[in-house]
């Protein structure tokens, strides 16, 4: 990402060998994802139909959180919100409307703080609306998140907030904060089978641009 020309060549190579998307970090060596230097990469991904998965890393405040595993428990959710807000306020979603972006861990702390984010946009547009004057709430449902939240009631909240078409199964395999049984939390939800099917595979197929086979048993990648 810090070398956009090379990143674009890699996206093209990934497309050529049959991959359906790429993964990037929540920041690039401490630089937020809204910076114009990254726009050509988003443009290339959009043009090639390559999905983009954003996973938190290089967590801010790590030096102040050296105990209790706080960088993973506190820093990662904040990093994901940082990435979402950066892309919203920086106009990335507005500029690349067909770019399919997904964020790890249910969108981190963003879903629970959208009210605060929107209020900040309303009361201090001089600080928040520098590059995009559209309400952040208008972008709910414009990006995907995974289901790895570890709380069925909050997962239901995220589904209601972002839409049943924008949440898909996540496992975080093989890391300790992942689910031992991928998708187990989805089975706990009191929602219809049609919605569970969306969460378990249909939304992921849509995000990746893969046509659903007539029979799932025929699906090989």
State the average pLDDT over residues 101-129: 98
In Å, how far are 59, 66, 69, 70, 82 from 63, measured between CA atoms? 9, 6, 12, 10, 18
Span 2-42, pLDDT tens digits: 999 999 999 999 999 999 999 999 999 999 999 999 999 99
Q: What angle do CA 53, 55, 57 make, to 5 degrees?
A: 150
Span 181-190, pLDDT tens digits: 989 999 989 9
State the average pLDDT over residues 64-76: 96
Helix, coil or strand: residue 81: helix
Is there a contact between 32 and 24 (Cβ–Cβ < 8 Å)?
Answer: no
102, pLDDT greater than 50: yes
Q: Which pLDDT belongs to residue 213?
A: 80
CA 211 – CA 205 distance, rounded (Å) = 7
Q: Which pLDDT belongs to residue 42?
A: 98
221, pLDDT greater than 70: no
Q: What is the mean pLDDT of the chain?
A: 95
Span 139-165, pLDDT tens digits: 999 999 999 999 999 999 999 999 999
The dihedral built from the CA positions of residue 133, 89, 199 and 44, taken in this order, carries a sign that is positive
All domains of the chain in start order, with CATH: 4-218 (3.20.20.140)
195, pLDDT greater than 60: yes
């Amino acid at each position: 990402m810090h070398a956009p020309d090379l990143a674009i060549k890699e996206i093209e190579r990934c497309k050529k060998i049959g991959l359906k998307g790429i993964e990037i970090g929540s920041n690039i060596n401490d630089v937020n994802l809204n910076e114009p230097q990254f726009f050509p990469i988003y443009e290339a991904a959009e043009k090639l139909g390559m999905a983009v998965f954003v996973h938190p890393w290089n967590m801010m405040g790590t030096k102040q959180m050296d105990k209790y595993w706080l960088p993973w428990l506190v820093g990662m959710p904040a990093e994901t919100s940082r990435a979402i807000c950066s892309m919203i306020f920086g106009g990335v979603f507005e500029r690349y409307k067909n770019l399919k972006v997904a964020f790890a861990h249910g969108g981190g702390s963003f879903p629970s703080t959208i009210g605060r984010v929107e209020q900040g946009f309303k009361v201090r547009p001089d600080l928040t609306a520098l590059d995009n004057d559209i309400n952040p709430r208008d972008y709910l449902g414009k990006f995907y998140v995974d289901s790895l939240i570890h709380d069925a009631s909050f997962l239901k909240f995220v589904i209601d907030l972002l839409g049943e078409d924008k949440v898909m199964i996540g496992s975080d395999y093989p890391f300790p904060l992942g689910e031992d049984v991928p998708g187990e939390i989805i089975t706990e939800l009191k929602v219809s089978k049609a919605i569970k099917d969306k969460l378990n595979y249909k939304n992921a197929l849509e995000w990746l641009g893969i046509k659903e086979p007539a029979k799932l048993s025929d699906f090989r990648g």
